[in-house]
C-alpha cells in the first residue's frame, strides 16, 4: 500500500508548509501615512501600535511604512507624539 | 544620521523577542485592535505556542482559508461550547507526552462570557495548566454585532437597536475578569492595548503562572466597525477606557487583587463615550447609570484589593 497518502494534519483546513496566504491590503488604503524624517525622534510608538506591525526601522534614525500592506488606519499618525506622520489622501499621489 | 534624532526607543520593543508569525496582509479591518493583539502575543510568548480558539473574528485568520494558512503557528479550531475543554485536552496531552509548550485558548467575549463560560469556569476550578485569553470587543462582532454579556449599558448593537421601543442594551455588563479572579486561580489579569508594556508583562507572568495552573487574561480590544469610531482612535479608546476607570487594569495572583495602574483623577465616562457611535444617543441620565455602574465595580475592586489579607471573619458576639 505504498500509494497511501497520509495527511500531515488531522484537520482538513490549512497547511503552513505551503506559502502563506497574503492579501493585497495596501489596496484598501484611502490615506497614506507619510513620515517626516526630520521630526521623527525615533521613539517607536508608531511601530508598536501599528496593528499590522509594518513600521520598519531605517538606519536607527526614523521609521518607514511598508506601503504594500498598510491599510491606512492612521493609528501611527494619531499616536506619534511629535505629529511627524501625516495622512495624505491617495489621490494626491496620482500622476 | 544626526545625533539629536537618537531618542529613547520605547521599552515595549524589548519584549518583542520573537518573529511575527503572521503574513502581512491578513483579513482584519483597518485599525482592528484584535490584529494588534494577535500579532503581539506570539512575538512576546514565542512562536512555539499552540493556539486553540472558536468561531470569532480571529478564526478566519487563525484557521486559514481553503487549504492555505495566514500564519505558521499551530492552531486548533473548536466549538464555542467547548473551548476550555478542548484546551484542557491539549494541555493534558502535552503533559502526558512530556512536551513542553504553552497552550493558549484564544477566544472572544462571546465564548468566554456567554457560550463557553461553563467549561471556562470548570477548567479554572480544575486548575488546568494553560492560558485562557479573552479579547473583549463587547459583542459578537464576527456574526454582525449582536449583544453579549460584556456589552455595556446603553450600547446599541443589532439585537439591542436604537428605536422607539429600545434605546440600546438596558442591562449592565458582567465583570468577567473579576469573576475569574474569584476562582483563586494562579493568575488572572486585565490588560488593554494602550499599555503594551503592561500587556507584555502580564503575558509573561501568565506563561510563568501556567506552570502552577490556570491563567486568565481579559484583554480590552475595541472594534472599530462594530462600535463606530474612526480607525485611528483604537488606541485612544483603550486609553480613555483606562482613564475613566471604565476598564481598570489589575492583576490577581491566587485571588489577591493588585491594581497595576491607578488613575489619580478619573475622568467622567462621557470622555470615553463621546468617541464612540454606539453610545452617541445616551443622555445625561443614561450616562449617570453607566457612571454609577463603573463606580460600583471600581469600588468593589478597590475594596477587594485592600481588604485581602487584612480581612478578619466577623466574630459573633455572645449575648
pLDDT for residue B309 = 56
Of B2, B35, B67, the CB nearest to A51: B35
Instruction: Name the residue range of residue A31's domain.
Output: 25-90
Q: Does residue A11 form part of some domain?
A: no
- The answer to whether residue B48 is domain-embedded is yes
- Predicted local confidence at residue B268, as pLDDT: 95
Tens digit of each residue's pLDDT (9 = 90 or more) over A29-41: 999 999 998 888 9
> Would residue A6 count as lying in a domain?
no
Nearest CA to B176 out of B291, B56, B297 is that of B297
Is A41 in Cβ contact with B5 (below 8 Å)?
A: yes
Could you give the percent of chain A with pLDDT greater than 70?
84
Whole-model pTM: value is: 0.91
Backbone torsions φ then ψ of A23, nearest 5 degrees = -90, 160
Query: Per-residue confidence at B2, pLDDT binned at 50, 70, 90?
Result: very low
On whether residue B237 sits in a domain, the answer given is yes
- Residue bearing cell 502552577: B212
Residue B159: inside a domain, yes or no? Answer: yes
For residues B198 and B200, what is the distance between their CA atoms, to the nearest angstrom? 5
A82 located within any domain:
yes
pLDDT per residue as tens digits for the range B232-253: 999 999 999 999 999 999 999 9
pLDDT computed for residue B237 by the predictor: 96
Query: Is A73 part of a structural domain of the chain?
Result: yes
CATH number at residue A54: 3.30.70.20
Angle between helices B33-45 and B196-209 (to 10 degrees): 50
Residue A81 located in a structural domain: yes
Q: What CATH number corresponds to the domain at position B273?
A: 3.40.50.970
Question: How far apart (Å, rounded) are the C-alpha atoms in residues A4 and A20?
Answer: 27
Instruction: Tell me if B301 is assigned to some domain.
Output: yes
Mean pLDDT to the nearest integer, B43-71: 90
**Does residue B22 lie in a domain region?**
no
pLDDT at A1: 47
Mean pLDDT on B148-159: 94
The answer to the question of residue A53 being in a domain is: yes
Number of domains comprising chain B: 1
Using 50, 70 and 90 to split pLDDT, how confident is the model at A54? Answer: very high
Contact A48 B39 (CB under 8 A): no
Q: Are B132 and B121 in contact (CB under 8 A)?
A: no
Digit-coded pLDDT (tens) for B294-313: 999 999 998 888 765 565 66
Question: How many domains is chain A built from?
Answer: 1
Chain B residues close to A71, C-beta within 8 Å: 30-31
Burial of A85 (0-12, 13-18, 19+ CB in 10 A): buried
pLDDT tier at A12, thresholds 50, 70, 90: low
- Sequence-distant (6+) residues with CB within 8 A of A32 are A65, A67, A70, A72, A87, A88, A89, A90, A93
Kindly state whether residue B215 falls inside one of the protein's structural domains: yes
Is residue A18 situated within a structural domain? no
pLDDT computed for residue A2 by the predictor: 54
CB-based contact, B47 to chain A, within 8 Å: no
Task: For residue A9, tell me if it sits in a domain.
Answer: no
Q: Give CA–CA dist B204/B131, Å, rounded.
A: 11
d(CA B160, CA B260): 34
Residue B83's domain comprises 27-306
Amino acid at each position: 500500500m505504498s500509494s497511501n497518502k497520509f495527511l500531515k494534519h488531522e484537520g482538513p483546513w490549512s497547511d503552513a508548509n505551503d506559502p502563506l496566504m497574503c492579501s493585497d491590503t495596501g489596496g484598501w488604503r484611502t490615506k497614506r501615512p507619510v513620515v517626516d524624517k526630520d521630526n521623527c525622534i525615533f521613539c517607536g510608538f508608531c511601530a508598536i501600535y501599528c496593528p499590522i506591525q509594518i513600521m520598519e526601522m531605517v538606519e536607527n534614525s526614523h521609521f518607514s511604512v511598508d506601503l504594500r500592506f498598510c491599510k491606512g488606519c492612521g493609528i501611527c499618525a494619531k499616536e506619534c507624539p511629535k505629529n511627524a506622520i501625516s495622512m495624505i489622501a491617495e489621490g494626491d499621489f496620482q500622476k | 544620521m544626526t545625533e539629536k534624532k537618537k531618542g529613547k526607543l520605547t521599552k515595549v520593543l524589548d519584549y518583542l523577542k520573537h518573529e511575527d508569525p503572521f503574513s502581512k496582509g491578513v483579513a482584519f479591518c483597518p485599525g482592528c485592535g484584535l490584529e494588534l493583539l494577535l500579532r503581539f502575543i506570539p512575538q512576546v510568548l514565542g512562536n512555539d505556542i499552540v493556539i486553540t480558539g472558536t468561531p470569532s473574528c480571529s478564526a478566519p485568520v487563525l484557521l486559514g482559508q481553503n487549504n492555505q494558512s495566514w500564519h505558521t503557528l499551530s492552531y486548533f479550531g473548536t466549538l464555542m461550547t467547548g473551548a476550555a475543554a478542548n484546551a484542557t485536552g491539549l494541555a493534558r496531552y502535552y503533559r502526558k507526552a512530556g512536551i513542553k509548550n504553552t497552550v493558549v485558548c484564544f477566544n472572544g467575549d462571546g465564548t468566554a462570557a456567554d457560550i463557553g463560560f461553563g467549561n471556562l469556569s470548570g477548567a479554572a476550578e480544575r486548575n488546568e495548566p494553560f492560558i485562557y485569553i479573552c479579547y473583549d470587543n463587547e459583542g459578537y462582532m464576527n456574526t454582525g454585532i449582536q449583544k453579549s454579556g460584556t456589552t455595556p449599558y446603553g450600547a446599541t448593537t443589532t439585537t439591542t437597536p436604537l428605536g422607539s421601543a429600545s434605546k440600546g442594551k438596558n442591562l449592565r455588563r458582567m465583570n468577567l475578569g473579576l469573576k475569574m479572579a474569584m476562582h483563586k486561580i494562579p493568575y488572572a489579569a486585565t490588560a488593554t492595548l494602550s499599555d503594551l508594556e503592561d500587556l507584555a508583562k502580564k503575558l509573561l507572568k501568565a506563561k510563568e503562572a501556567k506552570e502552577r495552573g490556570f491563567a486568565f487574561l481579559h484583554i480590552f480590544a475595541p472594534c472599530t466597525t462594530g462600535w463606530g469610531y474612526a480607525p485611528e482612535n483604537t488606541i485612544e479608546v483603550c486609553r480613555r477606557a483606562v482613564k475613566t476607570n471604565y476598564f481598570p487594569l489589575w492583576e490577581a495572583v491566587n485571588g489577591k487583587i493588585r491594581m497595576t495602574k491607578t488613575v489619580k483623577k478619573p475622568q467622567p465616562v462621557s470622555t470615553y463615550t463621546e468617541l464612540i457611535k454606539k453610545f452617541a444617543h445616551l443622555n445625561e441620565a443614561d450616562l449617570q447609570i453607566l457612571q454609577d455602574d463603573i463606580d460600583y465595580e471600581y469600588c468593589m475592586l478597590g475594596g477587594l484589593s485592600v481588604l485581602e489579607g487584612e480581612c478578619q471573619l466577623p466574630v459573633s458576639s455572645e449575648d
